[in-house]
Amino acid sequence: MKLMRTTVLISTSLLFLLSCSSVVVEKENRIINSSNIGTAVVNGKRYTSKGQNFRVRFIILHYTVSDRDRSIDLLTDTDVSSHYLITDDKKDPIFYLVDEDKRAWHAGASNWKNFTNLNDNSLGIEIVNKGYVMENGEMKFFEFTPDQIQKLVILLKDLTKRYNIDPQDILGHADVAPQRKEDPGPLFPWEELYKKYGIGIWYDEETKVKYINSLQNLSPKDVQSELRKFGYPIEITNSYDEQAKNVIRVFQFRFRPSKYDGIIDQETFAILKALNEKYKK
């Protein structure tokens, strides 16, 4: 018997309301205010433990590699899921598919810094996009629509505020699974999100210039160590082997999308050094 599925749609106006302090979450006719969560009031005295934080630590962005209808079918079935879906139809609201309190199956085998199995502590956002096709041996990626990015900005601003998510912890699926994933790909506008909306992270050009010649006389081990320091799951093999090339390519997808051949070069390494200097923790 096929399970009954419920899809909740969130309009952009509701997302705006969610960012206001008066309304945080509305489910099953219950209003839950975050200021009251984890608090007990006994005989007029308020008790709250200081030993707590949000279980949601990361937001992971994906593309669906399918069209709108197929994406909805896949994400409302039993094998894969995400908390939110943004389609390529302007008339669609944002689809809220999995309760934020629950674990969606979107990241799979994944690692970032000291964290593993990121389904346990992340929110997944899928964006309808066909990914890429191979043409003459090269990956040709599809662009995201301006409407998709605008909806994503509204959603990210709301989620990062409510869960106090660090800008460094807004990631792509490829970041946490670089040996098997490419999404959201090199046409995803990471730089625009940072410079126009203050979302996520980006390097400073001046710092990049400072490090532009720093690759000289460095071993593959040094490069791999810098990539691991940034957060990527990479083995230190002191070799530009296949797993290192995959991580370098994913890094280039995100921070040097004009050329993503998986080969470390002066500019790629300078960007990596600039990021590690700017975001030291």
Is 143 noted as a catalytic residue in this protein? no
Q: How far is CA 54 from the centre of its chain?
A: 17
Angle at 56 between CA 53 and CA 59, to 5 degrees: 140
Q: How far is CA 136 from the centre of its chain?
A: 30
Neighbours of 134 (CB within 10 A): 8
Neighbours of 248 (CB within 10 A): 27
Which tokens hold the place of 93? 């609201």
Helix 266-278 and helix 220-230: axis angle, to 10°?
A: 40
Which residue in this structure is represented by tokens 């390494």? 269
Neighbours of 156 (CB within 10 A): 21
Q: Containing H/E element for 41?
A: strand 39-42
- Whole-angstrom distance, CA of residue 69 vs CA of residue 128: 9
Q: Among residues 126, 143, 182, 242, which one is catalytic? A: 126
- Whole-angstrom distance, CA of residue 185 vs CA of residue 45: 52
Catalytic residues: 126
